Amino acid sequence: MNWRRAWVIARTDLKQLRDSRDFWIPMMIMAGLFFVIIPTVLLFTISRLENVEIIRKVGETLDVLPQSVQDTVRGNTPAARASFAMAVYLFAPLAVVVPLTISSAVAANAIVGEREKGTGEFLAHSPADEREIYLGKLIASFIPGYLTTLVGFSIYALVVNIIVGPQVGGWFFPTADWWLLMFWIVPPFIALALSFVVRVSSKVKSAAAAQQASGLITLPLILLAAGQSSGSLLGASGAGWFLGLLAWLGALLGLIRGRTAVNRERLLGVDPNA
């Protein structure tokens, strides 16, 4: 394995993405909506609505949760407690939705896109072997999604602390569950999705078909992320560690099996099984 050649392939793809405004402008809009605009509007509204019935009901709902969870929810008013719960738990799945969507969109075009652009032949006859091409495609797909998420996560943390922090005793975000989500759960989830999407990209005949298939692949992973945040809310503190461990094992297995999906015949548009 020559890591330098793999990185050259990844860097070439990343440069093409950077120059493609049709890709990164929608990506930035989506990340801005999920990490900044929607949380800001919701948290700002809820934190300032003390006497609205729905806020009181949210506060009453928190009272029926396990005592260990109630102890983690800060705030002396229903609005403050509702804002804290939303900031910590409600938006957690978005930290997985955004990177999975972006990385899967890139990976869906990894192989079939080369064929459609007519550059597959150039890549097939390059000095890089199939493992290096596969690794380069994975890196080029992983970086945009995860980097966008880290930037969005940092901005989200700032928004949460500025809006909710003054009502709950100061800056409190990120919590331990969010650190776990960002650095233990999100990376293997992206890798797991990419191991499937790149494989699909090498087998389908069009980028549109690859995009459709990638949507089906990422959907169950998004549901798992929602389950993780719910588990944390209900006091299942070990759920995140366990889910992350399973995701790492699944990603490792998926990447090993997916390595054979990339070969020179498919880059040239020839079905090796035909």
Please determine, for residue 157, whether its predicted confidence score (pLDDT) is greater than 90: yes
d(CA 247, CA 215): 18
Mean pLDDT score, 220-240: 63
Report the share of the chain in percent with pLDDT over 90: 11
Name the amino acid, one letter, at 130.
Answer: E
Please determine, for residue 52, whether its predicted confidence score (pLDDT) is greater than 70: no
Establish how many alpha carbons lie within 13 A of residue 207's alpha carbon, considering only the half-sphere containing its beta carbon: 12
Q: How far is CA 187 from CA 100, 130, 203, 213, 245, in A?
A: 10, 23, 25, 21, 11
CB 228 within 8 A of CB 181: yes
Go through 104-126 and write b for each residue having 16 or more CB atoms within 10 A of its CB, e for each that does not.
bbbbbbbbbbbbeeeebeebbee
Model pTM? 0.84
Token pair, residue 156, equals 């989200």
263: burial class by Cβ within 10 Å (0-12, 13-18, 19+)? Answer: middle
